[in-house]
Structure 1
Amino acid sequence: MTTILVVDDEFLVADVVTFALEDEGYHVVRAGNGQKALDVAEREAPDLVITDYMMPVMNGLEFASTLRSRLADTMPPIILMSGAQAHLARENGALFAAVFDKPFKVGDVVGMVRTLIGPPR
């Protein structure tokens, strides 16, 4: 089963992305901030992570950096979604496989997921 972790404190955004990915056949797990997402990532071993930038407790850049240090050998690709801070993610391109500015087209995100990890198994 192909698992994707969606990390966003905006429930509507997380719902839209989650429903679109589940409709494609992916298994989706969620977390509302970077700290909770680290626990979920260690437990679920996702094939790909989609994260927001601006979140409470730990932002998307901090989350991606910490995840990389914890899962160095099995690091999944990370897609970042951001309304105002996308330029910061682009400056740290080695952490992110793709960066989407909000608002984004859900179909574009799903297409990038397929490009990065292929169809669900």
Structure 2
Amino acid sequence: MTGIVLVVDDEFGIAELIDAVLTDEGHRVLTAINGRQGLAMMAKERPDLVFLDYMMPVMDGAEVLSAMAGDPSVAKVPVVLMSSMPEATVAERCSGYTAFMRKPFKIAQVVTLTVKLLNRDGPDGQGAL
């Protein structure tokens, strides 16, 4: 299944890499450089999946997750939270993400997570990972 994927990351190289890989896989990819811009893009067009950086200026990943949880139109959109910090450290500061991807990551991880999250089963899209 292909879908609309939003990549929210202030590191241009990472956003560009994920964009290129997922576009090659047939997905439509949108990019944003910070959380505020990402939320604005979600308001215009609901993504099927979000790759979200944890540490960003203007509005970080934890703030975006909180805002998404409070918005019924995007509350159930799966989110891959990305960080160079260990997941345990990040999990202490935020919750609500579907999967965690540690930077630096392998391209295969991006493709595998995308396929897995876009093809989850269950009535609410919350199938097991």
| TM-score bracket relative to the smaller structure | 0.7 to 0.9
Q: Superposition pairs for residues 1-121 of structure 1, below 5 Å?
A: 2-71=3-72, 75-84=76-85, 86-91=87-92, 95-118=96-119
CA distance in 1, matches of 2:101, 2:75: 23
Could you say if the C-alpha distance between residues 33 and 73 of structure 1 is closer, same or farther in structure 2, counting changes exceeding 3 Å? closer
TM norm structure 2: 0.83
Which amino acid in 2 is paired with 1:2? G
CA distance in 2, matches of 1:80, 1:115: 15
Could you say if the C-alpha distance between residues 63 and 88 of structure 1 is closer, same or farther in structure 2, counting changes exceeding 3 Å? farther
Q: Secondary structure of 1:75's partner?
A: coil
Which of the two has higher C-alpha Rg?
Answer: 2
For structure 1, the residue ranges without an aligned partner over 5 or more in a row are: none
CA contact (8 A) 2:46 2:74 kept: no
Could you say if the C-alpha distance between residues 2 and 43 of structure 1 is closer, same or farther in structure 2, counting changes exceeding 3 Å? same
For structure 2, the residue ranges without an aligned partner over 5 or more in a row are: 120-129
Could you say if the C-alpha distance between residues 73 and 102 of structure 1 is closer, same or farther in structure 2, counting changes exceeding 3 Å? closer
For each residue in 1:51-107, what CA deviation from the matched residue of structure 2 results, as whole angstroms up to 9, or x when unmatched? Answer: 101101111011111111113675200001101263344347851111011101121
Percent identical among aligned pairs is 38
TM norm structure 1: 0.88
Q: Secondary structure of 1:70's partner?
A: coil
Could you say if the C-alpha distance between residues 56 and 2 of structure 1 is closer, same or farther in structure 2, counting changes exceeding 3 Å? same
- Count matched residues: 118
